[in-house]
Every structure is written in structure tokens, then in C-alpha cells.
């Protein structure tokens, strides 16, 4: 019998996504362009939604779907001005967060490339303003 290992497991499971998204939102909280885009004063709920989404996307528990339904992420970003500057900063904070936590998780190069290829494409896809 072969057991399939999901990217979610290869990346380090829930702790990896927890630490990644927590570190990411620390950056967002200090960002003068991104922070005003977030409608809620408390970034905690937004942090939780991104964490659930990413875990589900990579083969982890489907908590996002249970709570939020179909992702339809482009539609959900439509109310916010996502231009190239926002995309660049989003990726910058994600990269800083990743580099910080990867000291502990040490993803293999293939998994790392897989993650970044996705994040860069997804951030591009989310843009809705020239």
C-alpha cells in the first residue's frame, strides 16, 4: 500500500501554516499601503481565513470550505484595490515571513519552488487595478 503524502504534510502541516501566516500579518500590520485595505480593526480573523485557505489548498483539512464555502478569491478581493504595488508588498511580506520561519521548517527545494510558484501566480491573479 502506498500512502500519499500531501504538500500540506511535506510543508510541516498546521504549525507551518500557522507560523507563516502569523509572521505575514505582522508585516501587513506595519505596512502603510496594505494595512488600510483590511476592513477590520483586528487582523486576527483575516489571519485565520488565509491560514485555513492555504492549508486546504495544499491538501490539509477543508476548514475553509466548511466556514466560507467556495473560495472565489478574485471575487472576494474585488472590493479592495489590488494594484501592482499591493501585489509586490504582499509577496514581500510573505517572503520575509517564509524566510523567518523556514529556519525551523527547512522545506526541501522542490516543495519550496512549488509553494512560491503558486503564491506568485495567485498574487498576480488577484490584481484588479492597473
d(CA 35, CA 53): 20
> Is 93 among the residues that bind ligand HEM (CB under 6 A)?
no
Cell for 53?
A: 485557505
d(CA 124, CA 13): 25
| Selected range binding ligand HEM among 1-9, 12-20, 80-88, 98-106, rule: CB under 6 A | 80-88
The site that binds ligand HEM (CB under 6 A) totals a number of residues, namely 20
**Residue 42, Ramachandran bin (φ over 0: left; ψ between -120 and 50: alpha; else beta):** beta
What phi and psi values does residue 128 have, to the nearest 5 degrees? -140, 5
Q: How far is the CB of 3 from ligand HEM (least distance, A)?
A: 27
Q: How far is the CB of 93 from ligand HEM (least distance, A)?
A: 10
Q: How far is the CB of 64 from ligand HEM (least distance, A)?
A: 7
d(CA 98, CA 105): 9
2 vs 69, beta carbon nearer ligand HEM: 69
d(CA 112, CA 54): 14
| Selected range binding ligand HEM among 14-22, 45-53, 95-103, 105-113, rule: CB under 6 A | 45-53
- Judged by the rule CB under 6 A, the positions of this chain that interact with ligand HEM are 34, 37-38, 46, 49-50, 53, 68, 73, 76-77, 80, 82, 86-87, 90, 119, 122-123, 126
Amino acid at each position: 500500500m502506498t500512502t500519499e503524502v500531501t504538500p500540506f504534510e511535506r510543508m510541516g502541516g498546521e504549525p507551518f501554516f500557522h507560523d507563516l501566516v502569523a509572521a505575514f500579518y505582522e508585516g501587513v500590520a506595519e505596512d502603510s499601503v496594505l494595512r488600510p485595505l483590511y476592513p477590520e480593526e483586528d487582523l486576527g480573523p483575516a489571519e485565520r481565513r488565509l491560514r485555513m485557505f492555504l492549508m486546504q489548498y495544499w491538501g490539509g483539512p477543508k476548514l475553509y470550505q466548511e466556514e466560507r464555502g467556495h473560495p472565489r478569491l478574485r471575487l472576494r478581493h474585488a472590493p479592495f484595490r489590488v494594484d501592482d504595488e499591493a501585489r509586490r508588498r504582499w509577496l514581500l511580506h510573505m517572503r520575509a515571513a517564509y524566510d523567518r520561519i523556514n529556519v525551523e521548517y527547512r522545506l526541501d527545494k522542490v516543495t519550496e519552488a512549488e509553494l512560491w510558484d503558486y503564491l506568485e501566480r495567485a498574487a498576480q491573479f488577484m490584481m484588479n487595478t492597473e
